[in-house]
Structure 1
Amino acid sequence: MNNSKGEEMTYQAKVRQNSFPEGKEIFSWIKDLAQWGHRKTGTPEGRKSAEYIEGKMRAFGLEDVRIESVPSMCMMVEDFSLTVGGEKMDAFYINGTNRGGESGRFSFGTDGSESEFVYVGQGLAEDFERLDVKGKVVVASVYLPEFDMQKQHEWFDDPFVYDPLNQMEEKKKKVDIYSPSIWPANFYLAQNHGAVGFVGILENYMDDPYFYNEDYTENGWPYGCQYMSLPALWVSRSSGKKIKAEFETSGVIRGQMTVDTLYEYRNAFNVSGRLKGKSDDIVLVHSHHDAVFEGAVQDASGTSEMLALAKYFAQIPAEEREKTLMFAALDTHYTDYAANIGFVKKRKEVGDNVIIDIAIEHIGKEAAFDENYNLYETGQVEPRLFYVSEPKLYAFTKATIANYDLKKSIAALVPVGKGLEREYKFHQDEVISDAFYWNESGVPVVSMVCGMQYLFHNSDKPDRIPVEELQPVGMAFAEITTEAMRKL
């Protein structure tokens, strides 16, 4: 599918390439941000990330540079381990689990006690009806649904697709790592049927990992669950094979599961700076800086593009900036989004009139699976999705994508939200990105996001960055930002 052909576009670039940071400079910031191993909310590494960005903003000459703290509920894991049938298994805690209340320390198995384990297949409703899991640790096979890039076009009415080489038509094996499906339904069913723990086997995730990071606490409401209370661990496909073989041989197996977590409020850090323009109306450019692992693509790449835009526009005289520009790197992408919500509310409280949010996430190499779910790089960029909820910028965004040859891009005109205070109901064309809370608050957005298979994996390292893409993507957003200052 490619509707970029035959569509007449007139375009006159306004951004000066010789003034925009080169890809290698932007890449150096990505490597700097990735150096701490992670940038988790509420940790010293998270603070280092914020302070690094603050330093860059000051060095570029931004004004009113500040770090604002927002309380965020954080999961701190003190200890976890798994031994099944006498064999110690490699495992990793499941984000958001082992939470028995709003806050506090929650421990399971720290006294050395053993539990009975029961395998429930995929953990469908009928599996729990035929098996007694009360007082036992449930082991379930988690199969992530196949992901078809072609179906992404169907989410929107009349999307714009820029795919001049028809690369998005190529069939590649991918899974949906972002949307709830059998998981976490099987977790909540186990919780409601009286299980005392949960072990998920990652049957079809990349390579043979025993970790995967997503928090589905909010998905418990259909099951009457406020928290993901069960202690829970991921194990790999190969470890799962051993566990299932033990069940087939013994029927009943015992083992020891240890999970010790602390849930408490800690400070999240939002970093921002401004460039004064002819109007006090604010065009916001933002990304998020926190990361579970090194997070080169997720989201040192987006944060570094934001910094590149800040450095570029700092060279533009104030009298040539039609609007005030604000640049920001937000926190809590992996916890409760409290920093995003807090940042939106803070701007309204202090009277900042943000007229649009321009958000950038993920510039990375595409990867797919072979028939055994081993990950390989395709040699292409990951398809990009542009959400545009400001109609005045939609045609220009499409033209910019083509002008800067941002291959494998989809742009869709989506509705702006009607206010954060209303009851949330999912809709397929909502802005599924870090710009969600701005759009839902009624502020239009232009938001680019990409869905790499490795975003929740520790292989998200600087070598996943296509350095040659960094400047074109940044310059495209500089054009969109300039047009937003001019037209809104």
Structure 2
Amino acid sequence: MKNQRLTAEGRVREATMPDGETIFSWIKDLTEFGRRGTHAADDRRSVDYLLGAFKGFGLSDVQVQESESFSWRVTRSHLAVGGTPIPHAPVAFSFDIGGNGAFSTGPDGLSAPLADVGDGTEDDFARTDVDGKIVLFDLRFTLPRRLLLAGGEFAYDPQGSVEDADLDTANPYLSNYEDVLERAIEAGAAGFVGVLADYFDSHDLYPEHTPGITIPGLWVTRAAGARIRALAASGATGATLRLDGERAPATARTVIGYLPGRTTDTIMVQSHHDSPWDGGVEDASGTAEVLALARHYSRIPQERRPKTLMFVLMDSHWTGYQAHQKFVDTFITDPAASHRIVANVTLEHIGKQGEIGPGGELRIFDRPEYRAVFENVSEPLKAVIETAITTHDLQRTVRLPADTLVPLLGELPTDADFVYEAGVPTISFISGPVYLYDKADTLDKVYKADLVPVAEAFADIIDHLSTTPSDEIRA
């Protein structure tokens, strides 16, 4: 059995999937680039690496699609309350000047009274004058695990590992940030300080781009927020905030390669390669899973691939998704597109479980973070997903009906959203550990034990997508 493996149905097939050490080596290589994609000036390191991998696997029509995006960087920041310096980090993409160029609060920074609005609700702003002031508010994450798990139609947890206390830990993807800043800007605030009230002891949060945040902002930890409030209570009502930097044009680069099948009906396999940090989990791990599947299928003869396979690694995940939109415009909605993309498989975040300890510290457990498979495929394919999850022992995994949840969430909270919204049936695997947008997302957070099982499970799913009549894939 050394050169064979079992499918979800128990059939014997050649073992063409790379081993865990090989997949992990690709993750390690990507994390060593650090900031990559649109976050680094004219960065081609990850793109050239992925091009080399695709070409080495023998993929055809390997190409890079370029689109206009931007980079955002800070050259200097400072925060003091009543003359006391406060540790902080810049809020990425704040101080939006309406385009590219330098931004600055001036050589002396912005000095103004503090206005504490707590959680920043409408009532909080109604009773607080923030005009011309620096708003202090508590950032709250609004998507706890229990909400996602409650929406599941199938859950696999054979060890009974779900602990009720864990379910209140929130995914950092959704928060009150946009609502609070909209209220603050409308009320005339001059700047803001966000207290990471639901976070571990770090101020290095780097969320995705939110446009229109026209005032400068800084993050502080929960402990630093308490320090600021103590200083304010003792009479230090003023703060000085400095934020200098630049938003500059940047080229987003999407790497694409094909494995032709017997038809041009095409299954797309996707992740994103860019990151503002080392990004071991987000998303070197997802990128490596796409590489694993590309190499696996490259060793299967074309005559045994009923549909064409298209492997896609995106950029601009943080800086506005311009690469995703251009991809959709070119390969999906354009009537002249050479391939009909009939299904999308997206892979993201093979990470260890993260929790916030009693002292605010980040605690990591050697088990997989709770994860979800969002899908909108037919009943037979839903059963295929469940069989793949159980056969390959993807513990702590829930299947979620995308078409039911997207209207509630406002979007598909994965890299597949633009493809899903374009009408392509989608199966999207993702987890949302609390450290996902933090510089703490380092190589050691990757859950190595699942690298091969996840790839094997999705090979089973792709095999079924390949043999399902294209018009019968969608729910």
Instruction: Look up the equivalent residue of 1:177 and give its one-letter code.
Output: P
Could you tell me how far apart the structure 1 residues matched to 2:245 and 2:461 are?
44
Could you tell me how far apart the structure 1 residues matched to 2:395 and 2:250 are?
41
> How far did residue 187 of structure 1 move?
2.1
Superposed, which structure 2 residues align to 1:198-347 within 5 Å? 198-206=192-200, 208-215=201-208, 217=210, 227-250=212-235, 252-253=237-238, 255-347=239-331
Which residue in 2 is equivalent to 1:221?
none
Could you tell me how far apart the structure 1 residues matched to 2:63 and 2:441 are?
29
* 1:390 equivalenced with 2:377 (yes/no): yes
- Residue aligned with 2:389, SS: helix
- Residue aligned with 2:277, SS: coil
Could you tell me how far apart the structure 1 residues matched to 2:329 and 2:154 are?
33
* 1:126 equivalenced with 2:107 (yes/no): no
> How far did residue 170 of structure 1 move?
4.6
Out of 436, 452, 469, which is 1:455 matched to?
436
> How far did residue 144 of structure 1 move?
3.3
> How far did residue 42 of structure 1 move?
5.2
- Residue aligned with 2:135, SS: strand
Which residue in 2 is equivalent to 1:415?
403
Which residue in 2 is equivalent to 1:150?
146
Could you tell me how far apart the structure 2 residues matched to 1:180 and 1:145 are?
5
- Residue aligned with 1:187, SS: helix
> How far did residue 430 of structure 1 move?
5.3
TM-score, scaled to structure 2 = 0.90
CA contact (8 A) 1:285 1:306 kept: yes
The verdict on how the C-alpha distance between 1:112 and 1:431 changes in structure 2, with shifts beyond 3 A counting, is: closer
Could you tell me how far apart the structure 2 residues matched to 1:231 and 1:86 are?
19
Could you tell me how far apart the structure 2 residues matched to 1:73 and 1:330 are?
15
Q: Structure 2: 5+ residue runs without aligned partners?
A: 1-6, 471-475
* 1:465 equivalenced with 2:446 (yes/no): yes
Could you tell me how far apart the structure 2 residues matched to 1:237 and 1:386 are?
32
Out of 158, 164, 189, which is 1:164 matched to?
158
TM-score, scaled to structure 1 = 0.88
> How far did residue 302 of structure 1 move?
0.5
The runs of at least 4 consecutive aligned structure 1 residues that moved more than 4 Å come to: none
CA contact (8 A) 2:277 2:441 kept: yes
Q: As a proportion of its length, which structure holds more strand?
A: 2
Could you tell me how far apart the structure 1 residues matched to 2:237 and 2:138 are?
17
Q: Structure 1: 5+ residue runs without aligned partners?
A: 1-8, 219-226, 418-424
- Residue aligned with 2:123, SS: helix
Which residue in 1 is equivalent to 2:63?
66
The verdict on how the C-alpha distance between 1:46 and 1:300 changes in structure 2, with shifts beyond 3 A counting, is: farther
> How far did residue 127 of structure 1 move?
3.0
Superposed, which structure 2 residues align to 1:39-54 within 5 Å? 39-41=36-38, 43-44=40-41, 46-54=43-51
CA contact (8 A) 2:8 2:460 kept: no
Identity of aligned residues (%): 31
Which residue in 2 is equivalent to 1:422?
none
Instruction: Look up the equivalent residue of 1:179 and give its one-letter code.
Output: L
Query: Greater CA deviation, 376-385 or 279-288?
Result: 376-385
Out of 446, 465, 471, which is 1:484 matched to?
465
- Residue aligned with 2:44, SS: helix
Q: Provide, for residues 421-476 of structure 1, a one-character-per-residue CA deviation record: whole Å limited to 9, x for no partner.
A: xxxx8434953211111111011011101111110111111111121211111111
* 1:174 equivalenced with 2:172 (yes/no): no
Could you tell me how far apart the structure 2 residues matched to 1:126 and 1:413 are?
35
CA contact (8 A) 1:281 1:352 kept: yes
Which residue in 2 is equivalent to 1:107?
104
Could you tell me how far apart the structure 1 residues matched to 2:221 and 2:146 are?
29
The verdict on how the C-alpha distance between 1:201 and 1:187 changes in structure 2, with shifts beyond 3 A counting, is: same
The verdict on how the C-alpha distance between 1:14 and 1:74 changes in structure 2, with shifts beyond 3 A counting, is: farther
Q: Provide, for residues 41-99 of structure 1, a one-character-per-residue CA deviation record: whole Å limited to 9, x for no partner.
A: 15247421111111111111111111111111433333322222222222111122101
How many residues get paired?
A: 458
> How far did residue 305 of structure 1 move?
0.5
Could you tell me how far apart the structure 1 residues matched to 2:138 and 2:286 are?
34
Instruction: Look up the equivalent residue of 1:475 and give its one-letter code.
Output: E
Could you tell me how far apart the structure 1 residues matched to 2:110 and 2:148 are?
47
The verdict on how the C-alpha distance between 1:233 and 1:47 changes in structure 2, with shifts beyond 3 A counting, is: same
Instruction: Look up the equivalent residue of 2:197 and give its one-letter code.
Output: E
* 1:36 equivalenced with 2:21 (yes/no): no
Instruction: Look up the equivalent residue of 2:189 and give its one-letter code.
Output: A
Which residue in 2 is equivalent to 1:12?
10
> How far did residue 289 of structure 1 move?
0.5
The verdict on how the C-alpha distance between 1:330 and 1:105 changes in structure 2, with shifts beyond 3 A counting, is: same
Q: CA RMSD in A?
A: 2.3
Could you tell me how far apart the structure 2 residues matched to 1:344 and 1:98 are?
30
CA contact (8 A) 2:35 2:275 kept: yes
